[in-house]
Chains A and B, each alone.
Chain A
């Protein structure tokens, strides 16, 4: 087993004087999909913010590619290949699909290459290349934000609630794509509130509640009973 590409060690984080993460540990290997589950307000998005460098932890270490990068700037991490798709939308709604992809060319890839790869992966976007992104369906918008993220050739991908407000069938389709992305060697950390679909594609699962890891282990070992206990109990 090679060294983990991403590791959180005893991370504490707070907003002002309110501590939200109370010592969280996590480790992701290359090409691994880790599902981060937990109820509303558990601190999942906060964890994504810490990993992406947007929020500085009050203590603990963030280790990327074997190096302690706690306190590194988010833009520098992103440029190196740590890509985040935030909660809500990661696209420009008032630009067309094609213009959105054009925005990803800052990473140094040619638009034609990006378009080719995107339309191969998401044929549905190819029919809509001149449509305003904001007028597409929610699922298509998420496909576009995935495509934009992939255009930057990331090594680590952070996804925050990809499924928000989408029909289960569309969610399943999106997660098939996530699995395909991981199969190419990209390490993925997925935040989800509803677990079933994501557990199907995840290798590991981590259950967060009240800012602490309650359960972690192989995704296949996390059963409905464990989940129900964590969501409903205490």
Chain B
């Protein structure tokens, strides 16, 4: 092997990004999404109760704006994160399963073929 190959190898290794494990980040985003969802619902309900607890229109608008609207925004953002990462998880799991099943299927076909072959050769 020539020096060039070693050179490009060390260069590529040198350029590698060393972010923390991706799996960790994914898990945190999933949890964050879940938390956002719960907090949003809580905030929206809280805002709603506060708003209906007063007859002052100005207060009502303020409560709705800070409680309910921000709450709704959190719900939507949280749900988006949550769905995005739980679907990714599920799809990955599913893909692994498919690959696995496909492999064992092939093994069965091959061993069946072999069996037929030995029987025919008899």
Contact = CB atoms under 8 A, between A and B. Distances in A.
- Tell me the interface secondary structure of chain A in the complex: loop
Interface in B6-26: 6, 9-10, 12-14, 16-22
A93 B103 contact: yes
Contacts of B113: 135
B20 A65 contact: no
Interface residues of A, number: 28
A179 interface: no
Interface in A61-98: 64-67, 69-73, 76-77, 79-81, 93-94
A134 B12 contact: no
Contacts of A186: 1
Contact of B107 (A73, A79, A81, A93): A93
Q: Chain B binding site: helix, strand, loop or mixed by DSSP?
A: helix
Contact of B10 (A65, A134, A185): A65
B110 A72 contact: no
A104 to B, nearest CB: 17
B5 A155 contact: yes
A69 B13 CA distance: 8
Contacts of B6: 5, 30, 65, 155, 185
A71 B16 CA distance: 10
Nearest to A72: B16
A203 to B, nearest CB: 16
Nearest to A30: B6
B16 A94 contact: no
Given A80-B12, A80-B13, A135-B110, 4 more contacts: A5-B6, A69-B16, A72-B17, A135-B113
